[in-house]
Amino acid sequence: MHTETKAMICTAAVLIAMGIFKELAAVCLITAVVFEEGVKKFDR
């Protein structure tokens, strides 16, 4: 997993834990997953 993806997931986890900006945290997680999948396809 790429460093950027880990950073986004960690940020989302912190936001969820704090109970602040849950929608933003969800967007970060979705973006991280989509980004990761996009990189895998690009590597092929």
Instruction: Report whether pLDDT(10) > 80.
Output: yes
- pLDDT surpasses 80 at 16: no
Check: CB of residue 4 under 8 Å from CB of residue 35: yes
Q: Which two tokens stand for residue 10?
A: 């960690």
In angstroms, how far is CA 36 from the centroid of its own chain? 9
Is residue 44 predicted with pLDDT exceeding 80? no
pLDDT at res. 12:
83
Chain mean pLDDT for the chain:
81
Mean predicted confidence (pLDDT) in 14-36 = 80
- Structurally, how many domains does the chain consist of? 1
DSSP letter for each residue of the chain: --HHHHHHHHHHHHHHHHTS-HHHHHHHHHHHHHHHHHHHHHH-
Range of the domain at 17: 3-43
Tell me the mean pLDDT in the region 19-33: 79
Rounded to two decimals, the pTM is: 0.42
